[in-house]
A and B are shown apart, each in its own frame.
Chain A
Amino acid sequence: MSALLSSHGVLLTDAHLLLADDESLPGDGALIVSLARWQAESTALLGRAAPVAVKLPNAIDVLSLDDKVLARPLLVLDFPSFADGRAYSQARRLRDRCGYGGLLRATGAAVVIDQLVMLLRTGFDQIQLRADQPQALAVAELLRLRQPWYQPDALQNRFVTLLRQG
């Protein structure tokens, strides 16, 4: 099982079960379901007491999501291949245009040491590290967040020219 890290590099215990589309709905416990499953069974899913998170395909337009999805405390965004960066922009759109204030989790093939800083700077709160990635290296990589960066981002919300005058 791969490690789930917070944006500070703390190892998190994941209470969520990632439910496959063909698995039956358990009576209790926090879940992550696909968007398709959510759309098909949202009434049943909302009827349960435990929290339900939704995993979004990286090809969907997040502007099309309804309020109930946007009310989820956790959304999981997918990086299905190493060089496919669509979910970076999905994350920004969820924050900037949808006003999504819940947690964002990154998962998939691109969630590696070398993309950690970009993920956190784009506003992800949780990192589902790819299984082969050494956790210690990942935590060390987070030190790079402290180096200077030019853009305003999720961590330092001002353009660099202002920081310099700071």
Chain B
Amino acid sequence: MYRYDQFDQALVNARVEQFRDQTTRYLAGELAADEFKHLRLRNGLYVQRFAPMLRIAIPYGTLSSKQLRMLAHIARKYDKGYGHFTTRQNIQFNWPKLETVPDILADLATVEMHAIQTSGNCIRNITSDHLAGVARDELIDPRPYCELTRQWATEHPEFNWLPRKFKFAFSSSTTDRAATQVHDIGVHIIKNAKGEIGYEMVVGGGLGRTPIIGQVIREFLPETDLLSYSEAILRVYNLLGRRDNIYKARIKITVKETGLAKFKEMVEAEWATIKDGPLKLKREDIARFQSFFTSFDYQASAASDTSYAEHLAKDSAFAAWTKRNLKAHRQPGYAIAFLSLKARGVAPGDVTHQQMDAVADLADRYSFGELRATHNQNLVFTDVRQADLYPLWQALAALDLATPNIGLLTDVICCPGLDFCSLSNASSIAVAEEIFDRFESLDYQHDIGEIKLNMSGCMNGCGHHSVGHIGILGVDKKGEEWYQITLGGSSENKASLGDRTGPSVGREHIADAVQTIIQTYLDQRQNEEESFLACYQRVGMPPFKARLYPVAAEQAA
């Protein structure tokens, strides 16, 4: 993974001291609350319903065991003993005290971490495929390009006061696991006909209250032009983006209102004058960043292990876990193992400090001291020897991190909701739990197969409900919690936005409604191979609507 040099360290240390000074001035009454708000947001600090919330960047989801131990320490010392992994591969702490945040940031800086630009109207954490570097369907590891972009975006003097937040996602595989088409800029690293590396640039995607699928602004951008082209897009957006209405301020609206052709023309004109300037990358710069992301020292003998097959045959619980929570690795004898943060009775994405410490130890023992956070709010050990899978599973099971539900219905993606967030209309965590209880039977879940259920507590869509195969959105009706349901959303290759089923349903009926939808799918599917999404795309809304509304209407009466 990327390691800081003196330069990176000095920059992050300076940022800690700057924020300490800003906090001191605010507490001394020398900095107005509204202005401090903008400044603290640029350091990941929100003021939430009950307490401040600090969001810490995990660039493209890659984390070392040492960093994870520091997060455990922060949870213990400054918070209530746990953290929450988000849908953008970050981690949040929900209970720090404002006065202690500079100390938290100083602690983070000792392990090459920070909270810079994790909120506010600026360029946010760069996200990517959580399987970068190990996925079988990958063209090239996207992380060196992510790191280059991260550095370019960090404290960019021109782009700290954009019309609205701005998110990049990178992917370089045949299956898009980074939801690139619903980001402000999605970068697909590709090869052209001549075999040269470059980028398909997608712009103007986004979720929130006006979800839009991004459009291709450039089919092939040469490898060395990534930053200059990004700078051109950002400059046009900074000047053109709307500032009169927060809901129309994202680049997706700018592109929509301007029209892609005109927007592209402006970007290309901007780019023409800067493309051969100091932002043009050199091949050796890229190579230097790539040198941080070489593969681990794999053992050639790992594949000759026979214990794995023996355990599989003997232990059906282990076998169930391997079926759901493992993915094939490029290297024979190794596997990719998912740690499920979606156990029963736990808010999706939450991890305690004890779990973090234990996971850090396991990463050291079994996965080269590194792990990943996924945008589905789980963790991944990317490089586990097959002989180690059984002891790893046993250790994870003892930590309640081995629920075999990756990609299944209870692998719910969910925002913190009413319990923490002042914007939310929904107790999303409680609803997630109810759904968990309803579908707890694993056999039933396996029968349902791959499905993504996403839930957001409000229109801002932090739970990415618009791209859930089943999406649930909390809405407020005269002070009561109601839920709007959408079907058929997807952030995968052919990204699509979910269609609304009809009128929203009340809090007490939402779990029933999900069950009805699932039952309709099971009745409608051609065979077990047809996934929920494929089935919905084939049969459309009518059968779901027919089953859903008589029930809902009757119950509401």
Choose from B11, B38, B152, B238 the contact partner of A86 (Cβ within 8 Å): B238
Interface residues of A in 112-166 (CB under 8 A from B): 112, 114-115, 117-119, 121-122, 144, 147-153, 157-164
- Of A85, A96, A160, the residue contacting B161 (CB under 8 A) is A85
Provide the bound-state CA to CA distance between A92 and B121, in Å: 19
B440 within 8 A of A: no
What total of A-B pairs shows CB separation below 8 Å? 100
B286 nearest CB neighbor, chain A only: A161
- Are A148 and B11 in contact (CB-based, < 8 A)? yes
Q: When the two chains form their complex, are residues B38 and A83 in contact, meaning their CB atoms are under 8 A apart? A: yes
CA distance A147 to B155 in the complex (A): 12
Tell me the count of chain A residues lying within 8 A, CB to CB, of chain B: 38
State whether A164 and B235 are in contact (beta carbons under 8 Å apart), knowing that A118-B157, A150-B152, A153-B157 are contacts in the complex.
no
Q: Is A21 an interface position by the 8 A CB rule?
A: no
Chain B residues positioned under 8 Å from A96 (CB to CB): 273-274, 277
Do A85 and B274 contact each other (CB < 8 Å), given the known contacts A112-B35, A144-B14? no
B158 at the interface (CB under 8 A from A): yes
- B210 part of interface (Cβ distance < 8 Å): no
Interface residues of B in 218-250 (CB under 8 A from A): 227, 235, 238-239, 243
For residues 147 through 168 of chain B, which have their beta carbon under 8 Å from a beta carbon of chain A? 151-152, 154-162
Minimal beta-carbon separation of A35 from chain B (angstroms): 16
Q: Judging by beta carbons under 8 Å apart, are A86 and B155 in contact?
A: no
Contact with B along A62-84 (1 / 0, CB 8 A): 00000000000000000000111
**A41 contacts partner chain B, Cβ-Cβ < 8 Å:** no
Contacts of B49 in A (CB 8 A): none
Q: Tell yes or no: B285 within 8 A of A by CB.
A: yes
- The answer on a CB contact under 8 Å between B157 and A160 is no
Query: Which residues on A sit within 8 Å (CB–CB) of B235?
Result: 89, 92-93
Residues on A with C-beta less than 8 A from B274 are: 96
CB <8 Å contact, B7 and A157: no
CA of A97 to CA of B274, assembled, Å: 9
What separation, in Å, do the CA atoms of A163 and B10 have in the docked complex? 14
Tell me whether A82 and B38 are in contact in the complex, defined as CB-CB below 8 angstroms, given that A93-B235, A164-B7 are known contacts.
Answer: yes
Q: Is the CB of A164 within 8 A of B5?
A: yes
Expressed in whole angstroms, the Cα–Cα distance for A149 and B8 within the complex equals 9
Q: Give the Cβ gap from B112 to chain A, nearest Cβ, in Å.
A: 15
With the chains together, A83 CA to B273 CA distance in Å? 27
Let me know if B315 is at the binding interface, CB within 8 A: no
Distance in angstroms between the alpha carbons of A89 and B151 in the assembled complex: 19
- A residues within 8 A CB of B10? 147-148
B197: min CB distance to chain A, Å = 18
The one of B151, B159, B285 that contacts A150, using a Cβ cutoff of 8 Å: B151
- Inter-chain contacts of B282 with A (CB < 8 A): 161-162
Interface secondary structure of B, over-half rule: helix
B39 near A: Cβ within 8 Å? yes
A150-B155, A152-B277 given; A82·B5 CB < 8 A: no
Contact B121 A83 (CB under 8 A): yes
B270 touches A147 (CB 8 A): no
Q: Is the CB of B161 within 8 A of A88?
A: yes
Q: Given A151-B152, A159-B285, verify A97-B273 contact (CB < 8 Å).
A: yes
* B22 part of interface (Cβ distance < 8 Å): yes
With the chains together, A96 CA to B281 CA distance in Å? 19
In whole angstroms, how far apart are the Cα atoms of A153 and B14 in the complex? Answer: 18
Q: How many interface residues does chain B have, given as a range?
A: 35 or more
Separation in Å of the A113 CB from the closest CB of chain B? 9
Per-residue contact bits, chain B 28-56, to A (CB 8 Å; 1 contact, 0 not): 00000011001100000000000000000
- In whole angstroms, how far apart are the Cα atoms of A126 and B247 in the complex? 34
| A85-B239 Cα distance, complex, nearest whole Å | 8
Say yes or no: is A110 at the interface (Cβ < 8 Å to chain B).
yes
B278 at the interface (CB under 8 A from A): yes
In the bound assembly, the distance between CA atoms of A88 and B155 in angstroms comes to 13
Verify A82–B34 contact, CB threshold 8 A: yes
On whether the beta carbons of B157 and A117 are closer than 8 Å, the reply is: yes
A160 touches which of B22, B38, B151, B239 (Cβ 8 Å):
B151
Contacts of B277 in A (CB 8 A): 96, 152
Residues of B within 8 A of A107 (CB): none
* B495 interfacial by beta-carbon distance below 8 Å: no
Residues of B contacting A162 with CB < 8 Å?
A: 282, 285
Question: Are the CB atoms of B7 and A114 closer together than 8 Å?
Answer: no
B18 at interface by CB-CB < 8 Å:
yes
Is B518 part of the binding interface, using a Cβ–Cβ cutoff of 8 Å? no
Residues of B within 8 A of A150 (CB): 11, 151-152, 154-156
Q: Which residues, 357 to 409 on B, are CB-close (under 8 Å) to A?
A: none
| Set of chain B residues within 8 Å of A164, measured between Cβ atoms | 5, 7
Give the chain A neighbours of B8 by CB distance below 8 A.
148
Q: Which residues of B contact A121 (CB under 8 A)?
A: 157
Q: Are A83 and B161 in contact (CB under 8 A)?
A: yes
Q: How far is the CA of A122 from the CA of B155 in the complex (A)?
A: 12
Tell yes or no: B442 within 8 A of A by CB. no
Q: Is the CB of A122 within 8 A of B157?
A: yes
Establish whether residues A159 and B239, one from each chain, have CB atoms under 8 Å apart when the complex forms. Answer: no
Mark each residue of chain A from 93 to 117: 1 if its CB lies under 8 Å from any CB of chain B, else 0. Answer: 1001100000000000010101101
Cross-chain contact A152 with B161 (CB below 8 angstroms): no
A61 touches B239 (CB 8 A): yes
A118 CB, min distance to chain B CBs, angstroms: 4
Contact A114 B22, CB 8 Å, known A83-B38, A83-B161? yes
Is the CB–CB distance between A82 and B151 below 8 Å? no
In the bound complex, what is the Cα–Cα distance between A147 and B7 (angstroms)?
A: 9
162-219 of chain B: CB within 8 A of chain A: 162
Q: How far is the CB of A100 from chain B (nearest CB, A)?
A: 13
User: For residue B243, which residues in chain A have a CB less than 8 angstroms away from its CB?
Assistant: 84, 86
In the bound complex, residues from chain A placing their C-beta under 8 Å from that of B273 are 96-97
Shortest Cβ distance from residue B21 to the other chain A in the assembled complex, whole angstroms: 9
- 9 A-B pairs with CB atoms under 8 Å apart are A85-B160, A85-B161, A88-B159, A89-B158, A118-B157, A147-B14, A152-B278, A159-B278, A161-B282
Q: Which 10 A-B pairs have the closest CB atoms?
A: A85-B161, A152-B278, A121-B157, A118-B157, A161-B285, A89-B238, A150-B151, A88-B158, A147-B14, A148-B7
A-binding residues in B (CB < 8 A): 5, 7-8, 10-11, 14, 18, 22, 34-35, 38-39, 121, 151-152, 154-162, 227, 235, 238-239, 243, 270, 273-274, 277-279, 281-282, 285, 288-289
- A binding-site residues for B, Cβ under 8 Å: 61, 82-86, 88-90, 92-93, 96-97, 110, 112, 114-115, 117-119, 121-122, 144, 147-153, 157-164
Given contact pairs A85-B238, A86-B239, enumerate 6 new A-B contacts (beta carbons under 8 Å): A93-B239, A110-B161, A148-B11, A149-B155, A150-B11, A152-B278
